[in-house]
Amino acid sequence: MITLINIELYKIFKKWRTYIGFLVIAVIVPVINFAMLAEGEKSLDFMTRNLQQSFVFVGNLLNGYLVSYFILISLAVHIPFLITLVAGDLLAGEATAGTYRILITRPVSRMNIISSKFIAGFIYTAFLVLWLAIMSLGIGMIIFGVGELIVVKSSGIIIFARNDVFWRFLGAYGFAILSMTVVTALAFLFSSLVENAIGPIISTMAIIIVFLIVSALQINFFRKIEPYLFTTYMSSWRLFFDDPVDYAALYKSIAILAGHIALFFGATVLIFKRKDILT
Amino acid sequence: MPEEKIIEVKNLSKEFKELKAVNQLNLTVFRGDVFGFLGPNGAGKSTTIRMLLSLINPSEGDIRIFEKSLKKERISILKRIGAIVEKPDFYGYLSAFKNLEILGKISGADVSRKRIMDVLELVGLDKRSGSKVKTFSHGMKQRLGLAQSLLHDPDLIILDEPTTGLDPQGMKEIRDLILHLSRDRQKTLFLSSHILHEVELVANRMIIINQGTTMVEGKVSELLNTSKMKVTFEVDDSDKAKSILSETGYTNDLESVINNTLIFNMDSEKIASLNKYFVENNINVSAVIPTRSLEEYFLKITEKVS
């Protein structure tokens, strides 16, 4: 199994499309950081405009933590797209290239083939999220330094002490790996159904965008179905930036996302084991 | 001692919605056979090969390879099979060497540099081992397909159209390789091909299928000897030849005369006696060309169904 995973990782990282995600993050994160360097103070003033009459803010509020927090919020919809570029290609890419035939006639079970591909897809997902973490925290800290993190919520403003922030980012990025793995699993499922990677990429993104729109609309009907959409729980990384952290809600989100991963992967296994290879 | 059955297919069927691609097919391949698998386009050859390699699940029937059930012991069976299925596709962004290394590792084969280079040399690709496969011609991919099928030293080699895209020299090399694998390495080969002459040259047993069903199966020599064959005699004087033939039963076998060429449709054992008869009657025979081939036999069998 380890050999199969290594081979799948080798195949993933030998394709140029794999590096699109890393490249996009390597470009967009510095751009956001420089934009914040130019306009960040204004944004911070705007965020805290209602409180400035009652409170005096001192210290380095525009810091690497704040910029990283902004980046995490703003890229939540875009990272799934980068993930589907690779995850949607994991199985469909073999069909397109015609390599299913040489792969499936090897003396290994289809279960092992599919598991190794999924694990390799998960590792790619984790690397991409870690790359985002390293880039956004690293560049943010280099340019702005560290300081207290100010988080504006509908319920009010929370200011976290400088030494109380880093572990929250670790938790948030860890959670992001889990939620992005749901995207990987969904794209992987679609990838098992078709013979071209474009289909899984578009289908996965369409589902995520529709679910996010449904969640964003303030309509009663949509409010009722929102708890049943996996995208609702993908943003639960924000729970790490509550004080105190609502662990019950966090664990519920983790369980629901893990359940979706199991469901999507299970469906893929069932489909793939019965699939006739005609390409 | 009965011959060991390497492949035994019983009542194999495959349906795709309305289409019955393979219909109650039976065939047996024995150890050491070079087994020709023939049929017109759409006869169900590729579907059958895909079922033998577990790429497609049969709708009905039983496949036993190395006397084991393919359904129950797929992995141990595939360890002993090397195959090319239709056009050979590889990871184009990797080199020929790397493709073989990856596929060999998955198969549990010896993937040492020496072993991979030996196999590449066998198919004439050793000088291109480092080139990316996407730069290869179809013929080169075909050779690489053969290399991957031989890498893990399998007992049974299934080749689906192995000479497609090869030039005449390449076709001869593959033919020689097949004979070498069969005679010197005691491999069993299952060979599907549209080039009937090629099968005729290498196969000892064959099957012709059409519309997913067995038409004939048996030893090539026996199947080709059961009916009459066309023979062309080139003589120095066709008028004289015709006149002396009128006194014999050979006249019934004479089909046509073009210039000094006489074309007969006759039993193969009569060829030598006719030649002798011409010579004894002072007719010089410059050539005796048997034109009845597998191709003709194939057409006769498959046209029965059409």
Task: Write the pLDDT tens digit of every residue in A36-77.
Answer: 877 777 777 776 666 666 666 666 677 888 888 888 887 777
pLDDT above 80: residue A213: yes
What was the pLDDT predicted at A54? Answer: 67
Residue B305 confidence (pLDDT) above 70: no
Choose among B93, B102, B107: nearest Cβ to A107: B107
Residue B79 CB contacts under 8 Å (≥ 6 apart), including other chains: A107, B107, B108, B152, B154
Report CB contact under 8 Å: A105, B81. Answer: yes
The pLDDT value recorded for residue B295 is: 67
Position of tokens 């031989």? Answer: B150
Residue B89 has its nearest CB partner, among A97, A104, A274, at A97
pLDDT at B71 over 70: yes
d(CA B148, CA B159): 12
Domains and CATH numbers, chain B: 5-224 (3.40.50.300), 227-305 (3.30.70.980)
Residue A262 has pLDDT above 90, yes or no: yes
As a whole number of angstroms, the distance between CA B97 and CA A194 comes to 29
Considering CB atoms only, which of A98, A106, A109 is closest to B103?
A106
Asked if A102 and B86 come within 8 Å (Cβ–Cβ), the reply is: no
User: Among the listed ranges A170-179, B135-144, B215-224, B291-300, which one has the minimum average pLDDT value?
Assistant: B291-300
The region of weakest confidence among A129-138, B88-97, B265-274 is B265-274
Mean pLDDT of A228-255: 86
With an 8 Å Cβ cutoff, are B75 and A107 in contact? yes
Which of B57, B106, B133, B138 should one mutate to test binding to chain A, selecting the residue with the greatest count of A CBs within 10 A?
B106
Task: Say whether pLDDT at A207 is over 60.
Answer: yes
A184, containing H or E segment: helix A166-193
Domain boundaries, chain A: 2-274
Q: 3-class DSSP state for residue B150?
A: helix
Q: What is the pLDDT at residue A62? A: 76
* Mean of pLDDT over chain A: 85
pLDDT tens per residue, range A131-171: 999 999 898 888 888 877 877 777 777 888 888 888 999 99
> Alpha-carbon distance A113 to A272, whole Å?
10
Residue to substitute from A11, A106, A111, A271, interface B, most B β-carbons within 10 A:
A106
Tell me the average pLDDT across A231-251: 86
Convert the pLDDT of each residue in B12-39 to its tens digit.
998 888 888 888 889 999 988 889 898 8
Alpha-carbon gap: B131 to the closest alpha carbon of chain A (Å):
15
> Which amino acid, A110?
R
Judged by CB atoms closer than 8 Å, whether chains meet at B78 and A105 is answered as yes
Q: Are A150 and A61 in contact (CB under 8 A)?
A: yes
B227 min Cα distance to partner chain A (Å): 38
- Residue A50: per-residue pLDDT: 67
pLDDT band at B77 (very low <50, low <70, confident <90, very high): very high
Judge whether residue B217 has pLDDT over 60. Answer: yes
Query: pTM for this one?
Result: 0.81
Interface contact B106-A97, CB threshold 8 A: no
Residue B127's φ and ψ, nearest 5 degrees, are: -80, -10
3 state SS of B288: strand
Nearest to A169 by CA among A196, A201, A135: A135
Long-range contacts of the stretch B271-279 (C-beta < 8 A, 24+)? B271/B231, B274/B233, B274/B250, B275/B233, B277/B244, B277/B248, B277/B250, B278/B233, B278/B235, B278/B241, B278/B244
For residue B229, what pLDDT is reported?
73
Q: What residues of A are in the B interface, CB distance below 8 Å? A: 3-4, 7, 10-11, 14-15, 97-109, 274, 276-278
Query: What value does the mean pLDDT take over residues B62-85?
Result: 90
Q: What percent of chain A has pLDDT over 70?
A: 94
pLDDT value at B1 more than 90 = no
What is the model's pLDDT at position B140?
A: 83
Q: Among residues A119, A92, A118, A115, which one has the least CA distance to residue A17? A: A92
- Look at strands B34-38 and B188-192 and give their pairing: parallel
Query: What is the rounded average pLDDT of the residues B120-147?
Result: 86
CB of B72 within 8 Å of any CB in chain A? Answer: no
Interface test with A, best of B52, B55, B132, B136 (most A CBs within 10 A): B55
**Residue A261 predicted with pLDDT over 90:** yes
Strand order in the sheet with B19-30: B19-30, B5-16, B60-65, B68-69
